[in-house]
Amino acid sequence: MQVKARILDATAMRRALTRIAHEILERNGGAGDLVLVGIRTRGAFLAQRLGGLLQRIEGVQPPVAALDVTPYRDDRGAAGAGRPRPGDGAEARETGMDPVDVGGRRVVLVDDVLFTGRTVRAALDAVVDRGRPAGIQLAVLVDRGHRELPIRPDYVGKNVPTSRRERVAVRIEEVDGADEVVILEPARP
C-alpha cells in the first residue's frame, strides 16, 4: 500500500478532537455523568485524549475505559462463537473492557475509523453486557462510509469518502510516533 493522500496532520487532529469534545459537552450538558469507552487500540488513546480535553474545558474528568471487542466480533468463525454471554460468569477481562460502571451513565464510544460498522456493533454488545447505560453515543475521528449495518456516528472529526480498495490509516503519537491520518491505496504495478 502506498500513501494516496494525507487528510489530517497533528494540528488538524487536535482541532478535530477539540471540536468533538465541545460537541459532546454541548449535547450532554456537561461531562458529569459521561463515561468514555475507547475501542482498542487507537480508539482507546483517542478516548484518553478526549477525557483530557473535557477535563480542561469543563473541569470534570469522566471515567475513561478501553474496550477490546475481539470476543464480540461476528467474524470469528461461527457467528458469535466464543462470545461471552450475560450470566455465564464472564469477567471484565474476558469481555475486554476495563472495569468501569456504565449503569445509568451516558457512554461515548470512541473509535479511530468508522467503516462497515461491525466493530461498533461488537462494542455495543460489550458495553450492554457490562450494564444498562442511560444512552450510548459514538465519536469517530474519521467516517469513511461503506456501512454494512445501520450505524451512524454522533460526533465525527472528518468525513472522508473512500473506495473499498483504499484504506484509512490513523497514526497516533502513543502507538505510531506521530499524529496523522492518511489514505492508502494498493501500489500500482
Domains and CATH numbers, the chain: 9-72+92-166 (3.40.50.2020)
Indicate the length of the chain as a whole number: 189
What are the tens digits of pLDDT across the range 104-163? 999 999 999 999 999 999 999 999 999 999 999 999 999 999 999 999 999 999 999 999
pLDDT tier at 39 (50, 70, 90 boundaries)?
A: very high
The predicted model gives 53-68 an average pLDDT of 96
Tell me what pLDDT residue 90 has.
44
What are the tens digits of pLDDT across the range 98-115? 789 999 999 999 999 999
- Residue 124 phi/psi, 5-degree rounding, is -60, -45
* Structural contact between residues 54 and 34, judged by C-beta atoms closer than 8 angstroms: yes
The model's pTM is 0.89
Greater model confidence, 164 or 96: 164
* Residue 67 in this model has a pLDDT that exceeds 60: yes
The predicted model gives 40-44 an average pLDDT of 96
Tell me what pLDDT residue 188 has.
82
* Residue 82 in this model has a pLDDT that exceeds 70: no
Greater model confidence, 91 or 184: 184
Tell me what pLDDT residue 76 has.
65
Smallest CA-to-CA distance from 136 within 67, 90, 76, 56 is with 67
Residues 22-52: b if buried by 16+ CB within 10 A, e if exposed: eebbeebeebebbbbbbbbebbbbbbbbbbe
The predicted model gives 55-79 an average pLDDT of 86
State percent of the chain over pLDDT 90: 84
